Amino acid sequence: MSKNIFTANEKEEIKAAVASLEKESSGELVLYYAKNSDDYVNANWKFSGILAFVFSMATIVLSYFWLLPSYYTPMVIGSTIMGVMVIGYAIAFFFPYLRFAVTSNSIVSQRVLTKAKDMFLQEQVFNTIDRTGILIYISALEHQVVVIGDQGINEKINPTDWEHIVALVVNGIKSKQMTAGIIEAIDACKKLLLDNGFIIKPEDKNELHDAIRIEE
């Protein structure tokens, strides 16, 4: 379950890293871990169609070499292909990874970015006095990370700076040190904020809670 992906100690370490960023800079950071960015239900029939196509090609090859049993009439073949499609749909319905596997990379990336933007709004990352919120969004199924900075930050930094933050999280996940990668990314966000003049002000307060958001 995604809720158990982080230990209690790891959650506290992440929370402390976010708190440290917000004690030294005027930024507010939200970390969101999603089990997936879409259900990809439209891919059920695509997987079903692929399975039926493979079966059809196998039938053609067997027929070409006279290996197809005599009782396989065109009607039987057609009915079997229909049955394979229904079975393929059922398999894809119960195994989300198969739906994801037959979805194009461009669609996957679009769905991840769309949900990241939705979480930016849902978690009210925009709701800071100086528009200095940052969202680090991790989508587990798709193995993708998105970082979104609010208007106040993006006016001063290079958009490519976020690519470095993404790389830190991704490298941590690949090396099976996700928490360490996340904390490194949070620290890098803090440095980015401080280097660009986002110093904490006397009137600043904690506007967004520091704990990681984990999708159930």
State how far the alpha carbon of 36 is from the alpha carbons of 79, 94, 111, 131, in Å.
35, 15, 10, 27
Torsion, CA 126, CA 138, CA 148, CA 37, rounded to 10? -80
Q: How many CB atoms lie within 10 A of CB 27?
A: 26
Q: What integer pLDDT is reported at residue 64 of this predicted model?
A: 85
- 38 neighbors 210 (Cβ within 8 angstroms): no
- pTM for the whole structure: 0.86
- pLDDT tens string 11-31: 999 999 999 999 999 999 999
Torsion, CA 40, CA 42, CA 43, CA 48, rounded to 10? 140
The band of 63, judged by pLDDT with boundaries at 50, 70 and 90, is confident
Q: How far apart are CA 167 and CA 96, in angstroms?
A: 26
Q: How far apart are CA 67 and CA 58, in angstroms?
A: 11
Q: Hey, what CATH topology would domain 2-38+105-214 get?
A: Diaminopimelate Epimerase; Chain A, domain 1 (3.10.310)
Computed over every residue of the chain, the mean pLDDT equals 93
- pLDDT tens string 140-193: 999 999 999 999 999 999 889 999 999 999 999 999 999 999 999 999 999 999
Q: Which helix (H) or strand (E) holds 75?
A: helix 74-94
- pLDDT tens string 30-61: 999 999 999 999 899 999 999 999 999 999 89
The band of 3, judged by pLDDT with boundaries at 50, 70 and 90, is low
Residue where the block lists tokens 């169609």: 49
Extents of the domains making up the chain: 2-38+105-214, 43-101
Instruction: For residue 32, give the 3-state DSSP assignment.
Output: strand
Residue where the block lists tokens 């695509």: 46
Q: What integer pLDDT is reported at residue 1 of this predicted model?
A: 46
In total, the chain counts a number of residues equal to 216
Q: What integer pLDDT is reported at residue 72 of this predicted model?
A: 82
Q: How far apart are CA 198 and CA 26, in angstroms?
A: 5
